[in-house]
Amino acid sequence: MTITLPTFTPLEDSLWLTLCGRALDNRSAHPILGDAMSDQIVRTLDYDYGRLNIDTNFRLSVALRAKKLDQVVADFLVRHPDAVVLDLGVGLDTRHARLTVPATADWYDVDFPAVVAVRERLIPAHPRRHAISADVRDSDWLDAVPTGRPAVIVADGLMGFLSEDEMASLWNRLINHFPSGELVFNAYTRFAVWVARHARGTKSVAGLMKFPGMDDPRDAEGWNPKLHLVREIVLSKEPEVAEFPPGWRLFQRLISHSTTLSRMASFVLHYRF
Judged by the rule CB under 6 A, the positions of this chain that interact with ligand SAM are 11-12, 14-15, 17-19, 89-91, 93, 111-112, 115, 135-137, 156-158, 161
The smaller minimum CB distance to ligand SAM, of residues 17 and 214, is found at 17
Cα distances from 37 to residues 18, 42, 51, 85, in angstroms, run: 13, 9, 21, 20
Cα distances from 85 to residues 11, 94, 126, 128, 266, in angstroms, run: 23, 13, 14, 10, 22
Residue 41: partners with Cβ closer than 8 Å, 6 or more residues away: 19, 23, 92, 94, 122, 123
The smaller minimum CB distance to ligand SAM, of residues 16 and 273, is found at 16
DSSP structural state of residue 240: G
Shortest Å distance, C-beta 223 to ligand SAM: 18
240 with 64: CB under 8 angstroms? yes
Q: Go through the chain and tell me how many residues it has.
A: 273
The smaller minimum CB distance to ligand SAM, of residues 65 and 263, is found at 65
Shortest Å distance, C-beta 16 to ligand SAM: 8
265 with 59: CB under 8 angstroms? no
Shortest Å distance, C-beta 201 to ligand SAM: 12
The smaller minimum CB distance to ligand SAM, of residues 53 and 256, is found at 53
Shortest Å distance, C-beta 51 to ligand SAM: 16
Shortest Å distance, C-beta 156 to ligand SAM: 4
Cα 20 from Cα 33, distance rounded (Å): 13
The smaller minimum CB distance to ligand SAM, of residues 11 and 97, is found at 11
